[in-house]
Structure 1
Amino acid sequence: MDPRTRISIANDMHDANIAIENGEHLKVIPVLERIVKSEPQIHVAHYYLGMAYARDRNYTRAIPELRKAIELQPDAIMAHYEIGVALFEVGDWETAATHFEIVVDKNPKWADARFSLASVQARTDRIPDALANLVLVVEQKPDHYRANLLLGRILTLKGQADVALPYLQKAAALHADSREAHAFLADALERLGRAADAQRERARAAALKRPPAP
């Protein structure tokens, strides 16, 4: 590759990164497609193209590009994370877990990545692993809404509503407009014999389901 082409591609990669961050992913897809066709060994071009496809929810096109980025640079942690998200979206939870595990192993304090790992573990019947990771997430980020919600729900379904209650209360407080949080909290309260409190939370959940009054 001649120096002029190298500089041009570097500029295109910079522009692509900014565009994707600004939600303008569609406009960079044609440029990135041309680059990966002419220079297929540039891993970051495959990575940004995969990200752009994923932001457009075109996961079937995103996954091969992200996979190629990882093939070219196996330690590209963000590519592992992005392909994990894409695989989660298409329901390939087992494969998603392998990529999230790589990310968490390299970045153990990345709470959102650990939550993503816990989510796929919960969906693949690896409940003890999911619980352990969710506990770590809420220890790292006590206000992590989704981790509190999922942890509380799993514990409730395991017959540990008393342990689940603080997490579900936290989730409902963090997102008072979440129908799911109030419904899950109501279920835990019902299992604890707190019928009146459960009814109150169910009413809140039901109110959130209704369209606003004209």
Structure 2
Amino acid sequence: MSWWKKILAGDGGSIKPQRLDYLNEGLALERHGDFEGAITSYQLALRDEPANVKVLQYIAIALSRTGRQEEAIRHYRRALELQPDLAGAHYGLAFLLRRRGDLERAAEHLRAFLSRPPRDPEMARWVDHARVALAEIDGGEGGEVTA
């Protein structure tokens, strides 16, 4: 082993490349309003872990905020393929489908979300929002409800 590698490795062991935390980088970019940068970071995170449902949901959220609804829908659907009871993906997908006029499928995802709602008291407003949206769909009002 060369002296340079020994210095970098410290104990003379092998050098392990440092993995970047693309998920946290994406979250930070999103907090600062850089949704395109966040999407890029999330895509890199997915390259490392293509079955990470958390990353799939975050990228779907960022895509929907940039007007890329169809891409967001694909990511939510992929997350649900991997974890069918994923409440957040059902919630997000329901409102994207509703916005595009697919009320029947939106209602299916709202029902799936409400069948296992988050128990966290801070999530109560989202549960109420889903109930109201489902009631509007079932009642035939069909008015747009924003997520």
Q: Which category describes the TM-score, using the shorter chain as reference length?
A: 0.7 to 0.9
Aligned to 1:156: 98
Q: Which has the higher contact order (CA 8 A, sep 6+)?
A: 2
Structure with greater Cα Rg: 1
How many aligned residue pairs are there? Answer: 127
Q: Is the 8 A contact 2:114 2:130 kept in 1?
A: no
- In 2, Cα distance between equivalents of 1:125 and 1:168: 21
Aligned to 1:190: 136
User: Residue type matched to 2:131 in 1?
Assistant: L
Displacement after TM superposition at 1:92 (Å): 1.2
Aligned to 1:121: 63
Aligned to 2:114: 172
Q: Is the 8 A contact 1:161 1:189 kept in 2?
A: no
Aligned to 2:41: 99
TM-score, normalised by the number of residues in structure 1: 0.52
SS of the residue 1:109 aligns to: coil
Q: Is the 8 A contact 1:104 1:113 kept in 2?
A: yes
- In 1, Cα distance between equivalents of 2:133 and 2:92: 13
The C-alpha deviation readout for 1:155-202, integer Å capped at 9, x for no partner, is 11221121111211121222265331232332233134358xxxxxxx
Displacement after TM superposition at 1:97 (Å): 0.3
Q: Percent identity?
A: 21
- In 2, Cα distance between equivalents of 1:133 and 1:181: 22
The gaps in structure 1 that reach 5 residues or longer are 8-71, 196-214
User: Residue type matched to 1:93 in 2?
Assistant: F
The C-alpha deviation readout for 1:114-159, integer Å capped at 9, x for no partner, is 1111110011111110000100101111121111111111111221
The gaps in structure 2 that reach 5 residues or longer are 12-16, 142-147
The C-alpha deviation readout for 1:37-87, integer Å capped at 9, x for no partner, is xxxxxxxxxxxxxxxxxxxxxxxxxxxxxxxxxxx95xx25x211101111
When residues 185 and 152 of structure 1 are mapped into structure 2, their CA distance, relative to the original with a 3 A threshold, is farther
Q: Is the 8 A contact 1:115 1:133 kept in 2?
A: yes
